[in-house]
Structures are given as C-alpha cells and as structure tokens.
Structure 1
Amino acid sequence: MSKKWIIYGANGYTGTLMAREAQSRGLTPFLAGRSKQKLLPLAQSLNLEIIEFDLEDRSRLNKIIADFDLVLHSAGPFIHTFEPMLQACLGGGTHYLDITGEIPVFEGCFAHDKEAQEKNIAIIPGVGFDVVPTDCLAVYTAKKVKNPTDLEIAFSTSSSASRGTAKTMVEHLRFGVQIRRDGKIEKLSSGKQARRIRFSDKERHVLPISWGDVATAYRSTGIKNITTYTSFPSRFINHYRWVEPITRGMFSLASTRRLAQKWADKNVTGPDAKTRERAQSHVWCAVSNAAGETAEAWLETVEAYKFTAIAAINSVESVLNNEIRGTLTPAQAFGENCVLRVDGSRFLDAIG
C-alpha cells in the first residue's frame, strides 16, 4: 500500500495498539497528535514518522490533511474532536475513519453523506469495537425476519475501559440514555429497564445504554425502533436505579466533568496485554416485526481493544484498496461478514 495515511491520537492507548497492528502488517502510517514528545517513543520503537499538529489550528490542520489519502482518527472524546478533523478531510478530499461510539458523532457524520459522495471520499465512523461487532450482528439478525420493526442489541466484555473511553463516558453521562423510537432518537431512564439476557456463554444482567447502533443500525437495517444494552453486575443495577438521575444531573455541570476527567487521566490505564489476549466479548441481538415474528443471533469475538486495533486497520486497508464513497456504517461499507475477518469471531444462530 503506497498511499499516505495518518493515525491521529497515536500516542493514546488505542492509537498505540492500532499503530503496532499497522506496523506488524508492514504498513507505514504517519503518527500524529498534539505532542511530538509524547509521540516520539512510539515512533522510534516502530520506525514510523511523526507529524505534530493541534486540531484547533485549523489552517495548519487543513494544509496537513490535504496531503494525505486517509485519516484514522483516534483522539476522543470525539464529540469535541470529530468536526474539525472531518471538515479538514472534506476540504482536502481525504477519507475519514474513526473509532467513536458516540451517537452525536455518528449523526454528525451522516449529515455529510452527500458532500462525501461529491468529494469522492469515504466517511466511516465507528470502525472499532464501537460499532463493528454490533453493526454486523444487527444486519445479520435483521435478515432473519421479514420487515423487522424492532431491534435490541447487547454486548458484554470482560476487560476494563481505557483512559479515553472513561473520559468519553464522563462527557456523555449528562445526556442520559438514548434509544430510537419510530425513527427518532429519544431519551430513556436507564434504571427503569434492567433485564437479564442470555449471551452465548451465560446469562447476564444488562441496562440500556447510549451506544452507536442507535445511529448506525438504523442506517444499516432500516429498523426504526432500537435499544442497546450492556452488562453490569447485579449489585450495580440495583443501586443505579436510584442514583442514575442524580448522576446525570451532577455530570451536567462542567466542573464535575473536569474533575472526573482529571481523575481518569491519573487513575485509568486500560487492560494490560494479558487481559487483551485472554478476555472475550459477547454480543446478542434480537429482532421482531409487526406480525410477532422474532429472531435472535449471537456473536463471539476477542477482547474489545484487541478487536478495535485489528478491525480499524482492516478498515483502512479496505478503504485504500477499494472504491468506497459516502458516509457509511462499517457493515454498509464492508458487509456484515467483515467482523469475521477478526480471528476468533463467529456468528451463532442457536446456543445450548
């Protein structure tokens, strides 16, 4: 692959994993971010080049991005960073990929579909664990029922969050839980719909959360009613029913979010290498239609951050080697079987 591309935010936890994955395949991305000093150790270890720039310097940003074929954006929370990078990509005719799971970011990207097609570029947000496994399973399951109207999807992963993921969660707690009803995004009090779901390995307690599939599965499947869940310990669910409204109110304050972000910077590191190799992730999906017909399917795959590194670089290679244009979900861009390109992934139509 001779085309030039960038990993922006390469010195972060997930950015580092993606850079290592790319280098292991013989690829040579430029490692980019705000601090040359922070990028240098990784660049030297991988023998890759560095570009230092800040997203707030729009003039320099636009000039740099126009010189590249693709950006893999990994500097979150994306609600604060996607717009300047996306605008630079649109202006420079540069493909835009990111690893967001944030509903407002997906919706913002889809608003630029026409412009992306006119510029002859691909805009594909969510090419990591957010949301490749869930997007692909949603499409896979939706095909089992004629004219599906409702979709529920849940995931469970046994590894901890990275610093970037924790900071993104802090930013979005104030918005509450978002679902889709009759094609429109609505808010839901998460503590009111706790339930148990049978994953392929065991049954787990889950709560509704705001996950990217509220935006992406709507485009991938056309289903207008979507709820997304993730697993939590039962003791957490019992308490969260009461503290969720208080938590949402607290995190609506900028001062609370700043304190939480600082805490995450000092205390959150992400799963270690042993955990990434050992842990697994499980996804469940159910669809139904107006006639009462239902279908379920399951997906098993590797640890979430390991998955992201592999899937994101798979996506880069696919975009640079194929004619993919417009704003698309991962399943739209690469097909629902793209998840199976990550070793250790498999669909299940039934479980014991």
Structure 2
Amino acid sequence: MTQGEMWILGATGRVGRAVAAQIVAAGTIPVLVGRDVGRLREVAAGLGLDADSKTVVAAGADAMAAEITRQRPAVVVNTIGDYAETVVPLARACLSGGSHYLDQANDPTAFHRLLALHDEAAAASSTLVTGAGFGVLGTEAIVAHLCQNRPVPSRVRVDAFASVAVEAGVLGTALATSIVDGFAMGGRRYEGGQLLKTRLGGEVHHLTLPDGERMSAVGVPSGELIAAQRVSGAPSVSATSGLIPASRAVRAALPLLSALLRIRAVRTFAIGRMAGIKTKAAPRPRPHTWGHAVVTWPDGTVREGWLRTGDAMDFTSAVAAQTALHLAAGKGRPGAHTPAAALGPDLATAAGGHIVDEVA
C-alpha cells in the first residue's frame, strides 16, 4: 500500500473537485484521478497544488481499478457515479491491497452489491463505505442518533429534502443512468424485515419543516431505505424524497413510467436524451437542506429528529472528505458498511450537519 495516499476518482467533476478541496484544506494532498490530464492539472492549480503534484490518468472504472491494484493507495474516493456498475470492480481493486473505499451511492442495487463484499473486506482489513453523502447519511445519522442505547424499534420512516444549487453544464450519462434506473426499479419498503416491492409513488407525506416551510415527500427506492433498516434493525421501514413532485397526476403516472423504463430500448433512449440535458446555473431553492426521521417502538414511544445543513451537494462533499480522513486515520470498521454504521452519527456533525431530536 502507498502510505497515506488518498485518491479522488473523478476529480474534475463537481463532487470530486469539492472533496479534493476539503481534503486539501484539512492539510492532506490528494492524488487526483481522471481521464483528462489537462483538466486534472487545471483542478490541481485551482487547489493551489504544486505543478509536480501526483495525478493519475485513467479512462473509466476498469482502468482506474487496474491502477488501484498496481499502486495500492491507502484510501479511494469514488465520485465517478454509475455506482451500480463501478462499485464492485473498484472496491475489489481496493481489497487486493488492503485499501479503504468510499462512494456517494444512493442506489439500492449499488448498495446490495457493495454490502455483499462485507466478508471479503473484513478478511482484507479494509473498510468499504457506501452512501457517504447527504443522500444516505442525512437521514441515517438521525436514525442512529435516536436509536442509541434503546431497544430495536418496530417502525422507522425517513424523509429527505435536499436543496441544491445547480451548476451550468450537461446532466451526464452517470447521473442520467442513476435517475432512470431508480424509476425503473419501482417502489420499495421493508415489512416484516423483508424488502418488498410497492407501488412507486404510493406513499406521500406532507410535513412542516422546522423553519416553517411546507413540503411534500414521495416514496422512492433509495439507499436511505436500506441504511435506515440496517442501522435500526426495525422490521418496518419506509423512505421518501422531496425531489419527486407529489401531485396526484404525477404519482398516478409513476407506475407506468417505471414499467416503460424497464424495457431495454426505452431505458437506453431515456438515458441518452436525459444525459444531454443542459442545465443553467441557479442558486439553491431553499436556505436549508433537511433530513427527517420518525422512529416508533413496540411500547408506543415515538421520537422524531431532524438534520439541518446548507447545500446538499456541499454536505455530500464534506461527508465524503470526512469519511476519507477518518479512514486514513484508521478509524473505520473492517467490512462493508453505510456511513453511520462505519463511523457513527457524529460523522454528520463533523461534515457540518446539525441534528435536533424531540419526543413526538
């Protein structure tokens, strides 16, 4: 293993740049990894790094995995997206040298594939962390906090309300693939400890946020659902998102959309069209991003909690950077985990989140 080297895969992307900047601010010089040497040098210069700072040029997950296997960095941060396809080759490359790995996935397929590597990771003394961003830790941390030193609850619900500034550019294939495949999967929830299929958009909740704004959230398949169940042990768990329109017309159309996107030709067409969508720069729509959880115990006790932060993308990059720094310091648990399970709910506050819990 290359002592102390921390690799940022996809370092020229929005999240990759932000993670690298936070790691530099913490006093560590990361290795920037990407497909374009010119853009890597631009990012390095923007971070104030020396011209001779190490970069690794690798086009795609397979090439990156080969370099990880060859050079054996201490920590690998995967920000390249398309996690369902990239987590296994990249994580396995880390295991070959005892490296640690983390990503920002919020995709049930990617979650299951990474968590299935738990025994291999434990045997290699490596820590693999999936969901190191707002999309998972923003609600998982609240559930872990509410459940500390208490018996296993009977029911958990988590709701995510992200507020993100839009960066000018194109959506890109990786993000488009995640969106399309998320809709194609259909609804999911836990009942009796089993992950079951449900009607996509069938669950909707209307909440008043702690700052007084009214928001709606719709049930979607997500890594947040899996993380909440794992960290709580509750047999009944559901997850909703404020990013999906809650109108009756939209929710009525979601099951049909899900079925259509499971057709290979339709999926390919949708990803291609969506990837090319151009976005204009825009400020985040609300001052705060909120995570929410309601936990119910068999005796009828109910506790509710909120996590408040600013821009959800800024929080995501901070979570990834803090996770990488903790793993580099040897604070992780060998095996494959979600963020709070690996490093505790305080990871969220270290990344700039503020948790408030109250008895319902």
Shared fold, TM over 0.5: yes
Q: Which moved more, 1:11-20 or 1:52-61?
A: 52-61
CA separation of 1:161/1:102 partners in 2, compared to 1, >3 Å: closer, same or farther? Answer: farther
The equivalent of 2:349 in structure 1 is: 340
Measure how far apart 1:265 and its partner are: 3.4
SS at 2:300's partner residue?
coil
CA separation of 1:59/1:327 partners in 2, compared to 1, >3 Å: closer, same or farther? Answer: closer
Alignment counterpart, residue 155 of structure 1, candidates 144, 148, 160: 160
Structure 1 residues 174-194: Cα deviation after superposition (integer angstroms, max 9, x where no partner): 111221222221111133222
Letter in 1 for 2:260: M
Structure 1 residues 138-197: Cα deviation after superposition (integer angstroms, max 9, x where no partner): 111234864311100001123267735444112221111221222221111133222212
The equivalent of 1:113 in structure 2 is: 118
Structure 1 residues 35-57: Cα deviation after superposition (integer angstroms, max 9, x where no partner): 33443422333334321223234
Alignment counterpart, residue 323 of structure 2, candidates 290, 294, 315: 315
Alignment counterpart, residue 262 of structure 1, candidates 268, 272, 279: 272
Letter in 2 for 1:83: V
| Identity across the alignment (%) | 21
**Correspondence 1:97 to 2:108:** no
Alignment counterpart, residue 212 of structure 1, candidates 216, 223, 230: 223
Measure how far apart 1:270 and its partner are: 8.1
* Cα distance in 2 between the residues matched to 1:313 and 1:83: 21
CA separation of 1:259/1:133 partners in 2, compared to 1, >3 Å: closer, same or farther? Answer: same
How is 1:154-173 mapped onto 2 (pairs within 5 angstroms)?
Answer: 154-159=159-164, 163=171, 164-173=174-183
The equivalent of 2:241 in structure 1 is: 230
For structure 1, the 5+ residue unaligned runs are none
How is 1:1-352 mapped onto 2 (pairs within 5 angstroms)?
Answer: 3-46=4-47, 47=49, 48-53=53-58, 54-57=60-63, 60-61=66-67, 63-64=69-70, 66-143=71-148, 146-159=151-164, 163=171, 164-201=174-211, 202-232=213-243, 236-269=246-279, 275=284, 279-324=287-332, 325-343=334-352, 345-350=353-358
The number of equivalent residue pairs is: 347
Letter in 1 for 2:118: D
Letter in 2 for 1:314: Q
Letter in 2 for 1:251: L
Measure how far apart 1:198 and its partner are: 3.0
TM-score (norm 1): 0.89
* Cα distance in 1 between the residues matched to 2:87 and 2:118: 15
Structure 1 residues 212-247: Cα deviation after superposition (integer angstroms, max 9, x where no partner): 12222222121221100112576x522122211221
* Cα distance in 2 between the residues matched to 1:279 and 1:254: 39
SS at 1:190's partner residue?
coil
SS at 1:56's partner residue?
helix
Letter in 2 for 1:189: R
Letter in 2 for 1:312: A
Structure 1 residues 286-322: Cα deviation after superposition (integer angstroms, max 9, x where no partner): 1112333222111211211000111111111111112
* Cα distance in 2 between the residues matched to 1:12 and 1:270: 16
Q: Which moved more, 1:284-293 or 1:158-167?
A: 158-167
* Cα distance in 2 between the residues matched to 1:206 and 1:295: 19
Measure how far apart 1:30 and its partner are: 1.1
Measure how far apart 1:269 and its partner are: 4.6
Structure with the higher helix share, 1 or 2: 1
SS at 2:146's partner residue?
helix
For structure 2, the 5+ residue unaligned runs are none
SS at 1:171's partner residue?
helix
The list of structure 1 runs, each at least 4 consecutive aligned residues, that deviate by more than 4 angstroms after superposition, is 268-272
CA separation of 1:19/1:154 partners in 2, compared to 1, >3 Å: closer, same or farther? Answer: same
Letter in 2 for 1:24: A
Letter in 2 for 1:258: T
SS at 1:131's partner residue?
helix
| 8 Å contact from structure 2 (residues 69, 94) kept in 1 | no
| 8 Å contact from structure 1 (residues 145, 293) kept in 2 | no
* Cα distance in 2 between the residues matched to 1:161 and 1:144: 40
CA separation of 1:31/1:249 partners in 2, compared to 1, >3 Å: closer, same or farther? Answer: same
CA separation of 1:141/1:351 partners in 2, compared to 1, >3 Å: closer, same or farther? Answer: closer
* Cα distance in 1 between the residues matched to 2:36 and 2:90: 17
SS at 1:69's partner residue?
strand
| 8 Å contact from structure 1 (residues 58, 84) kept in 2 | no
